[in-house]
Amino acid sequence: MEILNEMTIDFLSKSQNEAFARVVVAAFASQLNPTLDELADIKTAVSEAVTNSIIHGYENNLGIIRIKAILRESEIEIWVQDWGKGIEDIEKARQPLWTSKPELDRSGMGFTIMENFMDKVEIESTPGKGTIVKMYKTIKNKK
Amino acid sequence: MGVTFKVYNDILIVNLKGELDHHMVRMVNEKIEEYLMRHALKKILFNFKHVNFMDSSGVGMLIGKYKSLQKIGGKVGAVNLSKQVKRIFEISGLFNIISCYNDEIEASEKM
């Protein structure tokens, strides 16, 4: 599918930027004329990925988070990348309710929610180097 | 973004306002702990009327409150869930541990 538009933003891993990130991606995605429900899904998935980078990737230290979004005819592709500690065991991290930080009242539902709200979620991670989460969602254009 | 408290009978009603993500959860948790130190209450009712967004950080907060109150025989309830918040409750299984009510009056009778 032909690329219609593309954007990249870098921002600091501060918790204030969770809201910023999801609003930016939703505003960009609105070019595809999604429904309000589709926009809510995208915002939720972005929020989960960015929160993961802040809490788990950088463990609340400052680092850069990069979001790239690509719009195609009827699909949005979103990358959320950090250069933090990486994920040791991706399969475990994907499991519902599993969390590496239970002491912080984390629910362990982040990836489960991303998978529920998007069509496909891919995780690429190298311990000590960082993580990229790639998410894809079909947008059924309103006519 | 914010949180205000009201006590109705023996229930702490937590009125949330904003988007319940990791950033807001940190602030809300701190304020609830502070409040509970000064007032010994075992039941918390979260009012989601002014929350139009919640993610897994909100889920973690609710599970945390459920666990700590369960130990002392308390309860956690919720009212006024929006569509997006309801979906998060469903996916994460929160409806199994947190009772939802139509309004504060029903909650105060049943909690």
**Tens of each residue's pLDDT in chain B, 111 residues:** 789 999 998 999 999 999 999 999 999 999 999 999 999 899 999 999 999 999 999 999 999 999 999 999 999 999 999 999 999 999 999 999 999 999 999 999 999
pLDDT value at residue B59: 96
**Partner residue facing B56 (CB), from A22, A37, A107:** A107
CA dihedral B15, B97, B90, B22 (to 10 degrees): 50
- Determine contact, residues B42/B75, Cβ cutoff 8 Å: yes
Strands B99-101, B75-79: pairing kind: parallel
* Of B23, B64, B91, Cβ closest to residue A112: B91
What is the architecture, at CATH level 2, of domain B2-110? 2-Layer Sandwich (3.30)
Decide if A94 is catalytic.
no
Contact A18 B61 (CB under 8 A): no
Q: Is A52 a catalytic site residue? A: yes
Give the per-residue pLDDT at A103: 80
Give the architecture-level CATH label for domain A3-138: 2-Layer Sandwich (3.30)
Determine, for residues A48 and B56 on separate chains, whether the beta-carbon distance falls below 8 Å.
yes
> A18, A22, A38, A52: which one is catalytic?
A52
Q: SS3 for B8?
A: strand
Beta strands in A30-138 (DSSP E): 64-72, 75-82, 120-126, 130-138
The CA-atom distances, in angstroms, between A14 and each of A50, A61, A104 are 10, 9, 17
Q: Give per-residue pLDDT as tens, A75-118.
A: 999 999 999 999 999 999 999 888 988 888 888 999 999 999 99
Q: Provide CB contacts within 8 A for A119, sequence distance 6+.
A: A136, A137, A138
Annotated domain spans of chain A: 3-138
Query: Is the model's pLDDT at A141 over the cut of 80?
Result: no
Query: What ipTM describes this predicted complex?
Result: 0.92
Is A106 labeled as catalytic in the residue annotation? yes
